[in-house]
Structure 1
Amino acid sequence: MIFTINNMRSKNLYTVFLLTVILLAITYNSDNLYAQTSNSNISNLEKRLKTATLSEKAEILEKLVYEYQSSDNKKFVKYAQQYVELNDTLVSSEAKSEMFKLLASYYQSKDKPAYPDHEQSVDYIKYAVLALALLTIIFVFVWYFKLKSNYFKKIDEITAKAEEVYKEKYEKISSIESRLAEELSPHKEEQKTLEKNELELKKQLKVLEESNYLKNAFLSNMSHQIRSSLNGINGFANILETELAIIGDESLYSYAQKIQQSGSKLENLLTNIIDISSIEANVTEKSIVECNIAEIINDVESINIFKANEKGLIFKTKVGEQMPLVFADNEKLKKVLNVLIDNAIKYTDKGFVTLMAEYIEDNSIVEIEVKDTGFGIPVEYADLIKKAFKSASQVENEKSYQGIGIGLKLCKRFIDLMDGQIEISTKENKGTSFRILLGVANEVSTEPDTKKAEAVPVTLLNAPELGSLDIFIVEDDRMNRMVLEKMLKKSGSITTTVDGNHAMDVIKKTYSKKKFFHIMLFDINLPAPWDGTRLMQEIRRLYPEYKNIPFIAQTAYAMAGDKDRFLEAGFDDYIAKPIIKNELLTLMEKQIEKYASK
């Protein structure tokens, strides 16, 4: 507070001092300014007088008289006499009379006592102001030094108090810091231990990541190698089965059928193991999008209806008239339904298998049900999906249920990834029902559902009637080339190549003859420097006409994300080895129709 008051006083002193200096400057300069201005006017008038006409002289003389009246008596008398001597035509008698009065007044004043003239008065005032200003300056300096002395005294007092407070606070802070250092000492040791453990965990995590990478690489390589071999086994078994059925050799036909069934089981087991390993390793990719249930059911039906017909079962599908889209992973949902239907067909000797979808508006969910009239599952294992998914091979009817556990476990994991639910209802020797519940993605669609698949095979399956396609195959494995040729021999003309260079040579020759193939089947794992993806992209770059021809990747790469990777690279569709003839023909038909409609 004292500091503030002293500060205000100092400011007031500075203000008074500044005003005094300004006043002195004004006093000193005002007289000079007035004199300079007056002298400038008189000088101009006297110059004009020399060259002025008679009429202008009267006006100029009158002004000079009044200018010199208070400053120069001689010039005042001189110009006043010249003015009264002017011709009466130039000045009025009243103006002359006024000028005579001024002269008379001047001569009368000479006879009176002397008084200070105007200049003396101004000097008197100027010296008085100057004296006052000097006194003010002296007063200001005296006051300033007195305040300054008091100000520094207060500063010293405040500084002393501040140092005292600082010393007291510093001692307290030092004491607190010492206590904190003592208390934190054990924690610092703990922190060092934690940092050491964290570093060790990071090292272990890196090792685990490397191990996980090696595991995935091993699974991918194993999957590719086994699928490539299975493609030859299953393909030739399927061809042999067909040929033996035509010949009518039931014994050999049965052997070929068992070979194909065993190969299919091995393929499904391999696929399920890899999928489950991917889920447990948290490397499974999911693509939750809006899915059309009617289209998914149609695709699943077209794949499974033939297996049901071969076993003499009735396979029915039903989709509600007004069905909204659902949030799901399209491919994983198809896989779940295929697993459930495959189990239903496998463990049902007679009766029917149904696949139905219904929109439950009150709960905003879609319910998909797979139902059969098969053996059913014993009560003690009915909760296997929600719990540990024990293999049903542990029940008494071990032979009938062998292997069901892995597929059901995979279904549960996939549905969980889609934030859905799967429930089981079963009665022994009565059948089993699986219900899948998925959230809807939009309002109910009023458009009619896609036309359902018929029991009769699609167009390409009637190969003898078609037989007009030009099919181009790139496959480096001789066994797989032979399988594809046998599968497609009734679908049209087939051209096979063994690697990328061979394929480019054939395309170049046919292109020069203005010949184009109708559909392209490319293996992905080709001899260096080519792979199927690069080969497809190069052909479409060099020969733009092939941008309007479907390319299908037929490959043993079937890990999570492989299909999306190939589709994003530019392939129109994808089929994993081992290839099933019906699936391949259905897929080819779909692509031919799609490009034909463009």
Structure 2
Amino acid sequence: MRLKDVRIGTQLRIGLGVIMVLVALLGAMSWYQADKLWQETKGLYDHPYQVRRALSELRYDVQYIRQGMTDLLLVGKDKDRHTILQAIDNYEADAYRQFEILSDRYLGPRSDVEQARVAFGEWKANRDETIRLLDAGRIDEAARRIGPHGIGGEKAAKILSNLQRISDFALARGDKFYRTAQAERDSLMLGLWCLLGFILLTTMAISYQLLKGIREPLQELTSATGAYSGGQLDVRSNYESVNEFGMLVTSFNQLADSVQTELHSREIATRMAAVMLAEEDLRCFCRELLKAQLEHTGSQIGAVYLLNGEKSEFELFESIGLGEGGRGSFSATAPEGEFGTALATGRIQRISDIPADTRFTFQAVSGSFLPREILTIPILSGKAVVAMISLASVRNYPDTAIRLLNDTLSTMTARLNGVLAFRKVREFSEKLEVQNRELEEQKRELTVQADELSEQNIELELQKKQLDEANRLKSAFLSNMSHELRTPLNSVIALAGVLNRRLKDAVPAEEYSYLEVIERNGRQLLALINDILDLSRIEAGREEVSLSRFTVAELVNEVATMIEPQAREKGVTLLNSVSDTLPEMRSDFSKCRHILQNIIGNAVKFTEQGRVEVSAKQVADTILIAVSDSGIGIAAEDLFTIFDEFRQADGSTSRRFGGTGLGLAIAKKYADLLEGTITVESTPGQGSTFTITLPVASEMLPGDEWRPEVTLHSTSPAPSPQNGTRILLVEDSEPAVIQITDILSEQGYLVSVARDGKEALERIEQAVPDAMILDLMMPEVDGFEVIQKVRGREETGRLPVLILTAKHVTKEELQLLKGNGIHQLIQKGDVCKQELLATVARMAAKSPEKPAATEGKTAVKLLDAKPVILVVEDNPDNMKTVRALLTESCTVVEAFDGRTGVEQARAHLPDLILMDISLPRTDGFAALEEIRADATLCPTPVIALTARAMTGDREEILSRGFDGYLSKPIDADLFHQTIREALDGK
């Protein structure tokens, strides 16, 4: 058998098989040599490396023990003496561990290690004697023993000498390992090069033979295809073989024959199409069409019949070679003769058995001839036949003629319909031409006026679009940056927090500390991004003000509580001297909190010892809040720049205390936005005083502020989750899913996850959860649409929802969320585990699916027992009033501040709590949080009894979690009605 007749696949398999065997041989040899190198490397690691590391630790221990003995001389009988002795014991224990490593790993004489160990033991006895002398007060004698020339110094030097001998042997043994490994490497490289050269030669020989068997037929086939593509349609390949190339050549030759025939047919069809497109006049078109069809189909007779205006008959319009008998018309409503089938089916009909009485005859000099075949071609307009073309031949039609007519039928139909339509349009256009001339003159006059107005409108519209686009781009940029920057940071912070919890005690302490570094720096970067975005919104004029009423004490208490842990950690005293008697303010609570947080935070940061004090007073219609510290102070020349962006007093301040210089800049801009000011007085080295001046009542347009139910950095414990509490988490970010699921599942919640809004709605359709945690930015169906659809259903109308998002929520979006009963929001990246658990616990406790709020309250309806009502009120007169209203029908328990109120609630387990908002020590909001965080007290209804009765106060108080609202002075009827409804569980 010729090699060229062997199949290509067989040739390739044989060649590749030989190469794979050689490669396997190369791999086996490499593995053997690599294993030998590994043994040498392992020996190098087990002896020289481990021994020298143990020696390094031993020297370190000896040096520190000697230093510790010296320190004992200096401290005498001071209280630090015990610490030094403890450190010496620790280093001594570590030294014995290193001796164990040397005994196990050292390849030299065992006597070297034993001598060093014995010397260390003798030195220990010497140290014990020295310590005894110190205890006896013989300090001079002890000092001589410890000195370099004393017995203790000589013992230590002997130990170091023994360790040096061990080190020298280990170094020599390492050199020996290295030389052995180098010899093994040289042997491996020589063998590999030899085998690689043999593989390359074998591969080249096999490749040459395979390429030769492939190149020759490919060249023959390429030559044939090149000539064919160059226009030589008659060229064919002459290569002969039984392998794949022979089959490919045969297929090519057959394809070339088919393509040549097809191209010829298409060429004829193109010529006919050109003839049809050349004429617009109907009669000329039909005449040229018949000529072309007769020429290319071999017909002798051709005729075109058109449907008349009454659509009753087809009348002869043009013909070639048709005898006198075929010039009549035929019915369009009663199909007959050769045209009947074509009219009925709407397709080309081929008639071979021609009847003797046919009207189609071919007239010749020698007489009339009957055609052998007739072709009838219907022309359709929509579903109706509007023309018929009939061809006849005295010979049988070849298949190519039939295919030609089928290929050109669509063009012929479209073109004939177009010519017919053109004739009608031309007739109609002639009628309209006169009218158009009259209208044209009027149009010219109107066009001039329209052009002038259009130019003005275009200029105005262009300016408007530019302004709208600029505003849109600003808004889109701020919104996108808020989400796109926070989202990856949330992944870093969230997953770092998950690992922090999961890997505790599972990895070494040093590696575990890395997670704290990642999470801490992630939060610092998130704070920086928030500051930059806040600054961008302010400068772009997009920052919104939401007004509400609050007390100065409430504002300062919240910020001070937030910063207190930071101050306590630094050892700085944070004093809150703000009086509860100051009037309420009408301003933006969140921005005031931001200002104070930056000012007080800076004061704590730049104060290394001493105190930071916050005080406030009213001057006319303004509130002055002063923040004084005993920190490093600010130089006079720097006072004018500290409120500039990215500026601090000097570069060393940033390096020493951290920060970006944005905090004070944002605080200043917020103060300006709220019609206030910030001033500063400072003495370097003595401290600074920042004074924030804000109007008591802002004159800006009224607005609503969304103050979430969850207080940041709350220290109150979260209520325990109830068994079977189902939480639906709707989140498309995998890190956030892992973080939230990890936190909640650890507390016993049953968490199900939906990756987008559509899936969330499907899950709610199947089973309504007890509560839902929802992201706003999701593909397809976003969080806003999910909220609207959930609130639109009766069974989920009061489903508790917590918003967890990285998006900057605008004022309009806040209003939309409030309108759908959402009063809880947590920003991604700033998720605190305790805050999240407290929020979810309170949210789940309010779930309409859980009847806990009414269970256990039936006792108040017993005829023989009075309900117990706890009244928390700091004003004695108000307490008397409430007591007078309740004494006859209820048992009243009294408390005069928030802290006592919580304690009384836990002691008496009341059926109802009446809570004032402005309370000493702990205000009503904080007391409510502690009550809701207590699993026993959580179901107890709490009604706000307050003098805060301004517009919006009721909605704000209810949004913070109160079950009812009563304003002072008390309306007795409304008071009793509200009490009854609360006790009845309505």
Listed as ranges, the matches of 1:68-87 within 5 Å are: none
Distance 1:367 1:489 in 2: 47
Aligned residue identity for 1:407: G
Partner of 1:358: 616
| Residues 567 and 573 in structure 1, CA contact (< 8 A), matched pair in contact too | no
Matched position secondary structure for 1:366: strand
Q: How does 1:178-327 map to 2 (within 5 A)?
A: 206-241=465-500, 250-309=509-568, 311=570, 313-327=572-586
What SS is found at the alignment partner of 1:397? helix
Q: Secondary structure at the match of 1:392?
A: coil
State the Cα distance separating 1:281 from its structure 2 match: 1.7
2:129 is aligned to none
Structure 2: distance between partners of 1:333 and 1:480: 30
The aligned counterpart of 1:526 is 778
Structure 2 counterpart of 1:566, which letter?
L
Q: In structure 2, how many angstroms separate the alpha carbons of the residues matched to 1:239 and 1:308?
A: 27
Cα pair 2:545 2:588 within 8 Å, conserved = yes
Match of 2:803 in 1: 553
Write the deviation string for residues 396-440 of structure 1: whole angstroms up to 9, x where unpaired: 434035544212111111111111111223343444432211122
Q: Which structure: larger Rg?
A: 1
In 2, the alpha carbon distance for the partners of 1:555 and 1:206 equals 32
Partner of 2:670: 414
> Residues 501 and 574 of structure 1: is their aligned pair in 2 closer, same or farther, counting only changes over 3 Å?
same
Equivalent-residue separation in structure 2 for 1:491 and 1:312 (angstroms): 34
Of 488-497 and 264-273, more deviation after overlay is shown by 488-497
| Maintained 8 Å contact 1:376/1:427 | yes
Q: Deviations over 1:536-594 (max 9, x none)?
A: 232232244x4444322111111553545533443222222223214434555665645
Letter in 1 for 2:717: T
Query: 1:459 offset after TM fit, Å?
Result: 1.7
Give the drift of 1:311. 4.9
Deviation at 1:308, TM superposition (A): 4.2
Flag the 1:483–1:454 CA change in 2: closer, same or farther, 3 A: closer
Describe how 1:459-474 pairs up with structure 2 within 5 A: 459-460=717-718, 470-474=726-730
**Unpaired stretches in structure 2, ≥5 consecutive residues:** 1-454, 699-710, 846-931, 933-959, 965-986
SS of the residue corresponding to residue 319 of structure 1 reads coil
Deviation at 1:336, TM superposition (A): 1.9
Deviates more, 1:307-316 or 1:337-346: 307-316
Q: TM-score, normalised by structure 1?
A: 0.55
SS in 1 for 2:804: strand
How much is the aligned-residue C-alpha RMSD, in angstroms? Answer: 3.7
Provide the secondary structure at the position in 2 that maps to 1:425: strand
Q: Which amino acid aligns with 2:597?
A: N
- 1:339 and 2:598 correspond: yes
Structure 1 489/373 Cα, relative in aligned 2: closer, same or farther at 3 Å? farther
Give the deviation of 1:479 after TM superposition.
Answer: 0.8
Q: Displacement of 1:597 after TM fit? A: 3.6
**Would the aligned equivalents of 2:562 and 2:712 in 1 still touch at CA under 8 Å?**
no
Matches within 5 A, 1:87-106: none
2:836 — aligned with what? Answer: 584
Deviation at 1:373, TM superposition (A): 4.2
Identical amino acids, percent of aligned pairs: 28
| Deviation for aligned residue 1:231 | 1.1
For 1:567 and 1:590, the matched residues in 2 are separated by 18
Deviation track 1:179-200 (CA, whole Å, cap 9, x = no partner) reads xxxxxxxxxxxxxxxxx99998
For residue 481 of structure 1, report the CA deviation from its aligned partner: 0.8
Change in 2 beyond 3 A, CA 1:404/1:494: same
Distance 1:459 1:556, change over 3 A: same
**Aligned partners of 1:291, 1:440: CA distance in 2, in Å?**
10
Give the helix-richer structure, 1 or 2: 1
Deviations 1:238-284 (A, max 9, x none): 34445666669553344323322322222122222222222222222
Task: Find the counterpart in structure 2 of residue 377 from structure 1.
Answer: 634
Q: Measure, in 2, the Cα distance between the counterparts of 1:568 and 1:456.
A: 26
Q: Which residue of 2 aligns with 1:486?
A: 742
Match of 1:92 in 2: none
Corresponding position: 1:497 with 2:754: yes
Corresponding letter in the other structure for 1:553: I
Cα distance, 1:423–1:241 mapped onto 2, change above 3 Å: farther
Aligned to 2:45: none
Look up the equivalent residue of 1:533 and give its one-letter code: F
CA distance in 2, matches of 1:295, 1:590: 22
Contact 1:553 1:575 in 2 (8 A): yes
Is the 2:633–2:684 contact (alpha carbons within 8 Å) kept by the matching residues of 1?
yes
Q: Structure 2-normalised TM-score?
A: 0.35
1:537 to 782, 788, 792: 788
Amino acid at match of 1:392: Q
Do 2:638 and 2:649's aligned partners in 1 also have CA atoms closer than 8 Å?
A: no
Q: Distance in 2 between the 1:243 and 1:311 partners?
A: 29
The CA deviation at 1:484 is 1.3
Letter in 2 for 1:399: R
Task: After TM superposition, give the deviation of residue 359 of structure 1 in Å.
Answer: 3.1
Asked whether the equivalents of residues 393 and 401 of structure 1 are also in contact (C-alpha less than 8 Å), the reply is no
* Aligned pairs (5 A) from 1:509-520: 509-511=766-768, 516-517=769-770, 519-520=771-772
Contact kept in structure 1, 2:787 and 2:820, CA below 8 Å: no
Deviation at 1:345, TM superposition (A): 4.1
